[in-house]
Amino acid sequence: MQSHPPALPRVFSLLDRLIEPADQALRTFFGASQSSRPYPAADIAETVTQPSDQREVAALMRINHAGEVAAQALYQGQALVAGDQETREALLEAGREEADHLAWCSRRVRELGGRTSVLDPLWYAGSFAIGVLAGISGHRTSLGFVAETERQVVEHLTSHLGQLPQDDLRTRAIIHQMSADEERHGHNAMQAGAAELPAFTRAAMKATAKIMTRTARWL
């Protein structure tokens, strides 16, 4: 019986690697907002009926949607230059869960009669560049960037819970699920060997996020 040599692992070219972020960018901006998991608010009655409350909650969810656009780009940028396949797959898997968040935020904004940020392409481009820079800084630094990003996102989502109408259980269900996912992403990054980022880098990340959230609230 003739034996065959074991198959060699496929080596992905730069063009191969660029297909994934290009496809995800198109899905983010032009694809239908569909999630792989059930909508957390599906079975919860709507209580946000006052126009002023609708505008406020829609603005908060527009901010969250912009954050999820940035998260998509961040993970894609890091995955593009990841040094090993295991890290790349972990980043892409986290990105797929962020795509669920993107769909949920988009749906909630539409339910409230709002719109998503007109600056989404800017958030995507900037975050993709940051992801590439984080990725080429090394495996542990890249994971450290994930861990710190997710820590700040959880803080941000928690602050939004305090700004919602008390009886808005639909939005709360979405934010609680998003927060749980983000916390798990950060924990996984730490378990995989994430390095703690310098204080200056953490402060710069927080300042950048503040600019985005304040702008996305209105634009």
Q: What is the pLDDT of residue 16?
A: 57
- pLDDT tens, residue by residue, 132-141: 988 888 888 8
Q: What is the pLDDT of residue 9?
A: 47
Residues 103, 29: Cα–Cα separation, whole Å: 11
pLDDT at 45 exceeding the cut of 60: yes
Please check whether residue 42 lies inside any domain of the structure.
Answer: no
* Straight-line distance from the first to the last Cα atom of the chain, in angstroms, rounded to the nearest whole number: 68
pLDDT at 65 exceeding the cut of 60: yes
Please check whether residue 27 lies inside any domain of the structure.
Answer: no
Please check whether residue 18 lies inside any domain of the structure.
Answer: no
Please check whether residue 130 lies inside any domain of the structure.
Answer: yes
Please check whether residue 89 lies inside any domain of the structure.
Answer: yes
pTM more than 0.95:
no
DSSP structure class, residue 198: P
Please check whether residue 207 lies inside any domain of the structure.
Answer: yes
Residues 171, 58: Cα–Cα separation, whole Å: 10
| Domain residue limits at 157 | 48-216
How many domains, in total, are found in the chain?
1
Assign residue 152 the CATH number of its domain: 1.20.1260.10
Please check whether residue 2 lies inside any domain of the structure.
Answer: no
pLDDT at 20 exceeding the cut of 70: no
How many other C-beta atoms are found inside a 10 Å radius of the C-beta of residue 79? 25
Q: Over range 99-117, report the average pLDDT.
A: 92
- Which residue has 């009655």 as its token pair? 45
pLDDT at 13 exceeding the cut of 80: no
The band of 24, judged by pLDDT with boundaries at 50, 70 and 90, is low
Residues 175, 85: Cα–Cα separation, whole Å: 31
Please check whether residue 133 lies inside any domain of the structure.
Answer: yes
